[in-house]
């Protein structure tokens, strides 16, 4: 499963981050998923919560879907899109293509000092 391997990679990122802060405990994690990445938000959320909980007790995981950006082929307006067709909100023409929105990144981690 694609999402499971992503979740494991995200956990590795967190583990590396936590090694730098040995007195801390991971309490929350946010991941941003682009609207056009081939990732199911619900599935990733599910996998992430499981793999993270194995290592970090009580951690809260949040997966956020980020919209992509499209540029209108007629008037040039840039607007946010989440799914096709990408119609310009200003003139109604179809957009040329989309950019952004195909990435996956850790947007935040929250740690708590154990002292
Ligand atoms: Zn337009």
Q: Which pLDDT value is given to residue 96?
A: 77
User: 72 C-alpha to center of ligand 1: Å?
Assistant: 5
Structure tokens at 64: 């956020």
User: 73 C-alpha to center of ligand 1: Å?
Assistant: 7
For residue 9, the surrounding DSSP H or E stretch is: helix 2-19
User: 53 C-alpha to center of ligand 1: Å?
Assistant: 46
Say which CATH architecture domain 2-67+102-113 belongs to: 2-Layer Sandwich (3.30)
Domain extents in the chain: 2-67+102-113
| Sign, Cα dihedral of 78, 67, 8, 62 | positive
Q: What percent of the chain has pLDDT over 90?
A: 69
User: 79 C-alpha to center of ligand 1: Å?
Assistant: 9
User: 84 C-alpha to center of ligand 1: Å?
Assistant: 15
Note the pTM of the prediction, 2 decimals: 0.80
Q: Which pLDDT tens digit goes with each residue over 55-103? A: 999 999 999 998 889 999 999 999 998 878 889 999 999 987 788 778 8
């Amino acid at each position: 499963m694609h999402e499971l391997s992503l979740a494991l990679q995200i956990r590795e990122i967190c583990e590396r981050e936590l090694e730098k802060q040995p007195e801390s405990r991971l309490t929350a994690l946010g991941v941003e998923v682009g609207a056009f990445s081939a990732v199911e938000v619900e599935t990733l959320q599910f996998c992430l919560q499981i793999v993270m909980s194995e290592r970090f007790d009580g951690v809260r995981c949040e997966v956020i879907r980020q919209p992509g950006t499209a540029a209108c082929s007629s008037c040039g307006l840039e607007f946010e899109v989440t799914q096709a067709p990408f119609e310009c909100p200003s003139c109604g023409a179809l957009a040329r293509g989309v950019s952004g929105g195909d990435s996956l990144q850790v947007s935040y981690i929250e740690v708590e000092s154990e002292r």
